[in-house]
Amino acid sequence: MEEYLTSKLKTQEYFLNMGPQHPATHGVLRLLLKLDGEIVQNIEMDLGYIHRSIEKMCERDTYKQIIHLTDRLDYLSSHMNNEAVCLLVENALNIEITDRIKVIRTMMSELSRIASHVLWWGVMGMDTGALTSFMYGFREREMINDIFEETCGARLTMNYNVIGGVRYDLQENFVKRVKDFIVHFKKKLPEYDKLLSNNIIFQKRLEGIGYISKEDAIAYGLNGPTARGSGVSCDVRKIHPYSAYDRVDFEEILFTEGDSYARYRVRIREMWESLSILEQLVDKIPDGEHRVKTKAVIKLPVGDYLQRVESARGDFGVYVKSDGQKFPYRLKFRSPGFANLTALNKMTKGLKIADLVAILSTIDVVVPDIDR
Amino acid sequence: MILNVFTDIHNLLLGLMSAKVAHITELVLIGVAYLGIFAVLGLFLVWLERRVAGFFQLRLGPNRVGPSGLFQTIADALKLVTKELTGTVKADKQLYKIAPYFVITTALMTMALIPFSHEIQAFDINIGIFFLISVSSIGVLGIFLAGWSSNNKYSLIGGMRTGIQMISYELSVGMAVVTMVVLAGTLQISEIVELQKGGWFIFTGHIPAIIAFMIFMIAGTAESNRVPFDLVEAESELGAGFHTEYSGMRFAYYFLAEFVNMFIIASIAVVLFFGGWLSPFGITDAIPFAGLFWFSVKVIAVIFIFMWFRWTFPRLRIDQLLTLEWKYLLPINMVNIVLMALLVWLGLTF
């Protein structure tokens, strides 16, 4: 019998094409899986399905025009991306911005971060099979989007930052709405824990799965919440404080387990921290100009410039090489998602397809951010 | 053997034609009636699921077509009927076409045993429960064939998962049922219900009955491929799993059968644990067809619990699914049967 089995019935590895149209790949990411039954042996990533050559487009645009293109990278943290370009130009030209601008930018960034994490939480539930979390997440996201809409007219790709400030001053309602949101969200966050975090099935699905050590996390260049789940301290808000982050008191969330559940908890705790930042700032928005005067044509002096911000996904960087013209000579975006995605193979090897989906979700990829 | 259904119709037909023809006519009538029940029930449950989902998910669900959106699913079904039946070139044509009928036939055959009330049960044989479990096991073939014949890797993975999952959990469903059969001492469904006149089995069976009920609910959810055991379809992993390549009415067969299977599981639970068509404390036992009302109420209550599961829990992974069955449910079940047997032997039941 055994002879028969070995001679006639053979098992073999097979390839499975996951994406670019697949519900779990969060957009147009294509994964070529090498599978043994349900066990993932190897993952090859095929990128470029939404490549729009944004970096090249930036070379023919003025610095003011570049800002709106960054909306289209990581569309869930569009405000932070805008801010990076603005900060870069302001720092290069030594434009002094008022405290009001700094506080507005910080508050909008934190609102964006919460909106992004809330969406991630909903999708995280969906990827593990709990469909209800998506709707719960969208309830809170809707409130934030309404605040954005009232402030700058857009809900997703906001383009609210301009060089030397923000496009419009805050509406009268802003403070009240943010306060309402803080009260509401403080009640709802524990509900998130009840629905997903404390669910035994959910915990078993994530605990010990997708492990990556601190050393590996550094070696792969992981950043943002994904790296902080492995205990790598990498919060740009702490290391290189920008805008109003030096005047607020918040904690950098670090977990040392390095598994999917640690990455999950980092993001949940980050929402609490963002709430606390908002609370500290909402009553102390200083008076002043919302936009300082800048030259009509902005030219950066010859040289290399780098600006990093902490986007919802991690360390977002803009690198500009200027030859003194009004267009950048070369421009490079350092997107957090790309580095984080590279570790997927390392995390997933030897686990099941279902784990792959859950791990991909805890990395929190946004594909336009990776392809640019 | 068939009829305690509507003796009046039986007599009327006998008056009109010869005994043999009347018998065949009755069979056809009952068949048509059950097809009707099948369709209406399926559509109603789909509507209910969508409303319940809306209730859990902070939205409304269908509410435009007809009162409370009741006709929405009928409109959807009409759309599916008129759709072209597409398929892949590389599919195994014969198996691909025949697969949905396995599922739907099984569901129909099982439904014949469901006692809607004292008067309405098409097929009341002395080995009812045994027949029910053995027939319902055939359904897995349809899903398995669909996964295999579609010639699609996602379908294949879905189909393989079905094989693993349904065959494993069949054991737990069976064992939980056996526990209750030990208490009842009969396999005939109508008798099991009648025996509960003094008190529903969930109360008279002490702790073993409650354990059996919990196991039955868990395994029943797995049997009907619903969250947290919907690995077969697992839309975030496999797209749509085994029915990825199906369209139009063939897809609708699977879709309806899934809901009817859920109804069947809920009905078995009601029959075994909650006294079937019996009213609480026998308040309406004298009224004919009142059983239908009580049966529906109980079944919908159990179905609501299944839906509650679906819109709350995340999905298990395949190895966790098997661990749960083989390492926990099955051993507990076996001990539970012995416990129940002891209880019955010592006469400790109420």
pLDDT mean across residues, chain A: 88
Q: What is the pLDDT of residues A180-227, one digit of tens each?
A: 999 999 998 998 888 888 888 899 889 888 899 999 999 998 988 999
How much is the average pLDDT of A122-143?
A: 88
Q: What is the pLDDT of residues B293-350, one digit of tens each?
A: 888 889 999 999 999 988 888 888 888 888 998 999 999 999 999 988 888 888 776 6
Q: Do A353 and B157 touch (CB under 8 A)?
A: yes
Say how many CA atoms lie within 13 Å of A141 toward its Cβ: 20
Which pLDDT score, from 0 to 100, does residue B6 have? 63
Residue A336: asked if its preceding bond is cis (omega within 30°), the reply is no
Residue B12 carries which side chain, given as an amino acid letter? L
- Find the helix or strand (DSSP H, E) in which B150 lies: none
Give yes or no for residue B85 having a pLDDT over 70.
yes
How much is the average pLDDT of A4-29?
A: 77
Which pLDDT score, from 0 to 100, does residue B299 have? 92
Which pLDDT score, from 0 to 100, does residue A319 have? 92
Cα–Cα distances in angstroms (integers) from residue B221 to residues B82, B230, B235, in the given order: 32, 9, 17
- Indicate the range of A244-258, B64-78, B233-247 predicted with least confidence: B233-247
The alpha-carbon gap from A369 to the nearest alpha carbon of chain B, in Å, equals 22
Residue A166: exposed, middle, or buried by beta-carbon count in 10 A (0-12, 13-18, 19+)?
buried
Which pLDDT score, from 0 to 100, does residue B304 have? 92
Chain B residue with Cα closest to A130: B314
Q: What is the pLDDT of residues B1-56, one digit of tens each?
A: 344 556 677 777 777 778 788 888 888 888 888 888 888 888 899 999 999 988 88
Percent of chain B residues topping a pLDDT of 90: 9
Three-state DSSP class for B151?
Answer: coil
B316 touches chain A (CB under 8 A): yes
Residues B57 and B54: their CA atoms lie apart, in Å, by 5
Q: Do B237 and A204 touch (CB under 8 A)?
A: no
The alpha-carbon gap from A274 to the nearest alpha carbon of chain B, in Å, equals 25
Which pLDDT score, from 0 to 100, does residue B69 have? 85
Residues B215 and A284: their CA atoms lie apart, in Å, by 57
Q: Do A354 and B315 touch (CB under 8 A)?
A: yes
Give yes or no for residue A12 having a pLDDT over 70.
yes
Give yes or no for residue A167 having a pLDDT over 80.
yes
For chain A, the structural domain boundaries read 50-346+353-371
**Confidence bin at A75 (pLDDT 50/70/90):** confident
Instruction: Give the bridge partners for A322, in sequence order.
Output: A303
Residue A56: exposed, middle, or buried by beta-carbon count in 10 A (0-12, 13-18, 19+)?
exposed
A184 touches chain B (CB under 8 A): no
Which pLDDT score, from 0 to 100, does residue B1 have? 37
B323 touches chain A (CB under 8 A): no
Give the orientation angle of helix B139-149 with respect to helix B93-111, to 10 degrees: 160
Give yes or no for residue A42 having a pLDDT over 50.
yes
Tokens linked to B95:
């198996």
A298 touches chain B (CB under 8 A): no
Q: What is the pLDDT of residues B205-224, one digit of tens each?
A: 778 888 999 999 999 888 88
B28 touches chain A (CB under 8 A): no
How much is the average pLDDT of A124-145?
A: 88
A306 touches chain B (CB under 8 A): no
Q: By the 8 A CB rule, do A368 and A50 touch?
A: yes
The alpha-carbon gap from A332 to the nearest alpha carbon of chain B, in Å, equals 34
Give yes or no for residue A367 having a pLDDT over 70.
yes
A197 touches chain B (CB under 8 A): no
| Residue of A128, A136, A188, A209 to mutate when probing chain B, most B C-beta within 10 A | A128
The alpha-carbon gap from B99 to the nearest alpha carbon of chain A, in Å, equals 23
Tokens linked to B128:
């009812």
Q: What is the pLDDT of residues A57-74, one digit of tens each?
A: 888 888 888 888 888 888
Q: By the 8 A CB rule, do A19 and A344 touch?
A: no
Q: What is the edge-to-edge ordering of all strands in the sheet holding A314-322?
A: A303-311, A314-322, A330-334
Which pLDDT score, from 0 to 100, does residue A2 have? 65
SS (H, E, C) chain A: CHHHHHHHCCCCCEEEEECCCCCCCCCCCEEEEEEECCEEEEEEEECCCCCCCHHHHHCCCCHHHHHHHHCCCCHHHHHHHHHHHHHHHHHHHCCCCCHHHHHHHHHHHHHHHHHHHHHHHHHHHHHCCCCHHHHHHHHHHHHHHHHHHHHHCCCCCCCCEECCEECCCCCCCHHHHHHHHHHHHHHHHHHHHHHHHCCHHHHHHHCCCCCCCHHHHHHCCCCCHHHHCCCCCCCHHHHCCCCCHHHCCCCCCCCCCCCHHHHHHHHHHHHHHHHHHHHHHHCCCCCCCCECCCCCCCCCCCEEEEEEEEECCEEEEEEEEECCCCCCCEEEEECHHHHHHHCHHHHHCCCEHHHHHHHHHHHCCCHHHHHC
How much is the average pLDDT of B260-271?
A: 90
- Find the helix or strand (DSSP H, E) in which B249 lies: helix B248-273
Q: How far is residue A198 CA from its own chain's centroid?
A: 24
Which pLDDT score, from 0 to 100, does residue A5 have? 60
Three-state DSSP class for B238?
Answer: helix
Which pLDDT score, from 0 to 100, does residue B215 have? 92
The alpha-carbon gap from A343 to the nearest alpha carbon of chain B, in Å, equals 20
Pair type for strands A14-18 and A39-46: unpaired
Residues A20 and B61: their CA atoms lie apart, in Å, by 30
Measure the N-to-C terminal CA separation of chain A; round to a whole number of Å. 56
Q: Do A201 and B315 touch (CB under 8 A)?
A: yes
Q: By the 8 A CB rule, do B314 and A201 touch?
A: yes
Q: Do A354 and B237 touch (CB under 8 A)?
A: yes
Which pLDDT score, from 0 to 100, does residue B3 have? 43
Q: By the 8 A CB rule, do B250 and B163 touch?
A: no
Q: Do B239 and A23 touch (CB under 8 A)?
A: yes
| Residue of A21, A22, A132, A195 to mutate when probing chain B, most B C-beta within 10 A | A132
Which pLDDT score, from 0 to 100, does residue A182 have? 92
- Find the helix or strand (DSSP H, E) in which B285 lies: none
Please report the number of interchain residue pairs, chain A to chain B, with beta-carbon separation below 8 angstroms.
79
Residue A20: asked if its preceding bond is cis (omega within 30°), the reply is yes
How much is the average pLDDT of A148-170?
A: 88
CATH code assigned to A50-346+353-371: 1.10.645.10
Which pLDDT score, from 0 to 100, does residue A366 have? 87
Phi then psi for residue B130, to 5 deg, are -60, -45
A208 touches chain B (CB under 8 A): no
Q: Do B228 and A127 touch (CB under 8 A)?
A: no
Percent of chain A residues topping a pLDDT of 70: 98
Residues A199 and B280: their CA atoms lie apart, in Å, by 35
Please report, to the nearest 10 degrees, the dihedral formed by the alpha carbons of residues A20, A21, A22, A27 taken in order.
70
Residues A15 and A42: their CA atoms lie apart, in Å, by 10
Three-state DSSP class for B232?
Answer: coil
pLDDT mean across residues, chain B: 84
Q: Which of B157, B234, B311 sits opposite A131 (nearest CB)?
A: B311
Q: What is the pLDDT of residues A226-241, one digit of tens each?
A: 999 898 888 888 888 8
Q: What is the pLDDT of residues A254-291, one digit of tens each?
A: 898 888 999 999 999 999 999 999 999 888 888 888 88
Give yes or no for residue B68 having a pLDDT over 70.
yes
Q: Which of B227, B236, B320 sits opposite A357 (nearest CB)?
A: B236
